[in-house]
Amino acid sequence: MVKKFFIKGSIFIIILIAILSVLNPIFILKGGYTSKISQGVYEHTGKSYDILLLGSSHMNSSINPNVLWNEYGITSFNYGTGGQPIDVTYYLLKEILKNHENRDIIVVIDLYYLGLTEEFGEEEYIRYVLDSMKFSKNKLEAIISCTPRDQWVYYLFPLLKYHERWKELSKTDFNFDTRESYYKKGFAAGREVYGKKNLSEFTTESAEIPPKSEEYLNKIIELSQKAGFELVFINTPHDYTSTAGMKSWHKEPAKMFNKVTEIAQYKDIPFINFNNIYKEVDFNFESDMFNNGHMNIWGSNKVTTCFGKFLAENYSLIDHRQDVSYAAWNSDFLYYEKAESAATLK
């Protein structure tokens, strides 16, 4: 009797999970980050990329995979999402690695979000990633580690949060087009010009990293050692005063990044703080920034070109542009370039 009850109960749970796995992707909110996770994590796997680019919106608008391809023949994908906390970055990286066979990859992480001082990031930002991840051990661990306990069930079953969306469901929810993210390789940057000076005050002093941020920074370092991939840290150009007055943010980010420099040097990990090398990049804060925290497309082109040169000079990366098996990348770039030119003319 007990055995039959257990079997029936197990079958019911399996069927319920199967139904939810079908409905959850339909009901979650769709957007650029949804298509990015779909394309970068699940659609193009195996040995698709030489470089994985992770981080918050600072990464999203900084390193452009199409520029890396056009100038250096390097394949990459930008997994940056708005407000992506470092703990979410860690679990997203684990999910990406699970689906990629290339262990010669280089993982590049923008460390802006180390500055978060609260235990959890904002729900909206966390959902950009977790709602788009398929159910897996990595997703389950991310929910437990990156979200408050009273929200776990809503991350496990997004349908419970979005069930009222049934009134507004459209064709897009059933057949979401992810091609734009595919051609852009996850990258997105604005075209407005900030027009103001950087108010940051630079210093040689250092300050401690928030505890949870440092914990997950070390977890990422340990993962690289265990999995055998190369790791590079960056800090893309932004005004350190942009977070002044935020209760949930480090009060002295410039000093915090100096601490990162110390850790990176000790661990023998490259750390490129673009805030300290404006001249080398020929970067003009007033004309190359979209706002005080993010670059525009022209600033991104400068930073990406500089970063690509660093990669080409320091790693044994193959220029794939003449390889016929990578011909699709050439056509993808031309499609992207045509779209970008049209957008600039508008």
Q: Mind listing the pLDDT tens digit for each residue in 134-150?
A: 989 999 999 999 999 99
Report whether pLDDT(320) > 70. yes
Q: What is the mean pLDDT of the chain?
A: 88
Angle between helical axes of 86-98 and 123-130 (0-180°, round to 10): 0
Contacts (Cβ under 8 Å, ≥6 apart) of 164? none
Query: Which pLDDT score is estimated for 211?
Result: 97
Q: Which amino acid is at 49?
A: Y
CA distance 44 to 52: 12
CA distance 196 to 20: 49
SS (H, E, C) 121-161: CCHHHHHHHHCCCCCCHHHHHHHHHHCCHHHHHHHHCCHHH
CA distance 128 to 275: 27
Q: What is the mean pLDDT of residues 114-121?
A: 97
Report whether pLDDT(9) > 50. yes
Do the strands 51-54 and 106-110 form a parallel or antiparallel pair, or are they unpaired?
parallel
Residue 346, CA distances (Å) to 64, 181, 208, 233 in order:
21, 20, 46, 35
Of 271, 295, 270, residue with least CA distance to 285:
295
Of 54, 49, 44, 36, residue with least CA distance to 232:
54
Asked if 237 contacts 299 with a C-beta cutoff of 8 angstroms, the reply is yes
Report pLDDT digits (tens) over 285-310.
999 999 999 999 999 999 999 999 99
Buried b (16+ CB within 10 A) or exposed e, 229-267: bbbbbbbbbbbbebbeeeeebbebbbbbbbbbeebbeee
CA distance 66 to 32: 17
Q: Where are the alpha helices (DSSP H) in the chain?
A: 2-27, 32-37, 57-60, 65-72, 86-98, 123-130, 137-146, 152-156, 159-162, 171-174, 179-184, 211-227, 253-267, 278-281, 285-288, 297-314, 327-345
Report pLDDT digits (tens) over 55-79.
999 999 999 999 999 999 999 999 9
Asked if 263 contacts 109 with a C-beta cutoff of 8 angstroms, the reply is no
| Residue range 2-345, CATH number | 3.40.50.1110
